[in-house]
Amino acid sequence: MRTPFIAGNWKMNKSPDAAVAFVREIAPLLDAIDGIDSAVCPPYLAIPAVAAAVAGTKVGVGAQNMYFETSGAYTGEISPTMLQGLCRYVILGHSERRALFGETDEGVNKKILAALAHNLTPIVCVGESLTQNEAGETQSFVSGQVRAAFAGLSDWQAAVCVVAYEPIWAIGTGRSASAQQAGDIIRTSVRDVLTDLFGSDTAQAIRIQYGGSVTEGNIADYMSQPDIDGALVGGASLKPTFVDLVRSAVI
């Protein structure tokens, strides 16, 4: 039985002070919700303070990205050793990173391996563009991303990971894949591919989230799908109603 998992990706929002004030408001409420894991992923500068604010609760903390090297002349980057001990999760391969900063499948794979080597849990993002979706290329593209991301991982390493399927055309647009569409894509392009790579037992242990204009009003529909185990939430995680979203995800 996979425990549902809702993670909030705050992106480039909230100063450290604002982040702490917000998480102090929502953490006790999230902590009181049983049967589900929740986490927030603030900007780097807020991670230490947010982690301190949620200490003693069930609320997890994650980073939004990291580099795969542990140190060196990589101006502006954050290493896994810097995150280790500060947070549990790290979002890797988000479509905004791929589109705006040129991240590749190979680079994402290196980041996943580096995160695992430093006891960080990767939230691995995959998803197709609107053009690919309309051309009927979703399954081949997403399955290719999954295979590239998990290349070289052992069964136990794969089982630790979380996968977030986020159709690019649904991120921050107000549009979203229907629950049935998302469930079908996750089953055929993610879960079945993981089964092919690692076997049924490992594939069934991996939690898979949906992301893309998820709200407290539609999360229950997604959670009704057997292969959807939670959500990676963007804009809706910046509001107090994020608590309602997490509560509504418990079925």
Binding residues for substrate: 9-11, 172, 213, 234-235
Q: What torsion do the CA atoms of 17, 21, 23, 29 make, to the nearest 10 degrees?
A: 180
Q: Could you give the CA distance from residue 213 to residue 235 in angstroms, rounded to a whole number?
A: 8
- The first and second tokens of residue 114, run together, are 């580096």
Catalytic residue among 96, 103, 128, 166: 166
Catalytic residue check, 118: no
Binding-site residue numbers are: 9-11, 172, 213, 234-235
For residue 94, indicate whether it is catalytic: yes
Cβ neighbors of 203 (< 8 A, separation 6 or more) are 191, 192, 194, 195, 197
Q: 94, 96, 103, 128: which one is catalytic?
A: 94
End-to-end Cα separation, the chain, in angstroms: 13
Residues 6+ apart with CB under 8 A from 172: 213, 234, 235
Q: Which residues are catalytic?
A: 94, 166
